[in-house]
């Protein structure tokens, strides 16, 4: 089984028909969306410096945000691609992750 960061570098696109089905919350469409875009989001997280476990956590947060906002998403030629919307959400969740971890005290070790 390959890891998400071992997959090809090309960026997938989202068809209008799949987008419509995702917006209707059809489970098979969501499964396809997650399967296709998880490696992309994971790669973005890793490129932003997150470790493997943190990147996996952020991927889950990204798709949770997508689920909450997909009903309001509208595709606009040239400026409103799904991928750019997804990238914006990913950057926000990565920033949230860094903010949360900046507030946590660092352990010093010892007995």
pLDDT in tens, 33-92: 999 999 999 999 999 999 999 999 999 999 999 999 999 998 876 666 899 999 999 999
Structure tokens given for 61: 């947060």
Name the CA dihedral angle for 71, 78, 46, 10, rounded to a multiple of 10 degrees. 110
Name the CA dihedral angle for 37, 99, 92, 27, rounded to a multiple of 10 degrees. 40
pLDDT in tens, 6-48: 544 567 778 889 999 999 999 999 999 999 999 999 999 999 9
Global confidence as pTM: 0.80
Q: What is the DSSP letter of 33?
A: H
Asked which of 74-78, 95-99, 107-111 is least confident by mean pLDDT, the reply is: 107-111
């Amino acid at each position: 089984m390959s890891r998400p960061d071992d997959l090809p570098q090309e960026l997938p696109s989202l068809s209008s028909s799949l987008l419509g089905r995702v917006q209707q919350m059809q489970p098979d469409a969501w499964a396809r969306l997650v399967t296709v875009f998880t490696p992309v989001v994971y790669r973005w997280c890793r490129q932003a410096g997150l470790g493997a476990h943190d990147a996996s956590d952020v991927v889950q947060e990204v798709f949770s945000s997508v689920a909450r906002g997909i009903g309001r998403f509208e595709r606009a030629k040239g400026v409103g691609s799904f991928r750019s919307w997804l990238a914006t959400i990913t950057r926000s969740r990565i920033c949230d992750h860094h903010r949360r971890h900046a507030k946590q005290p660092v352990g010093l070790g010892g007995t």
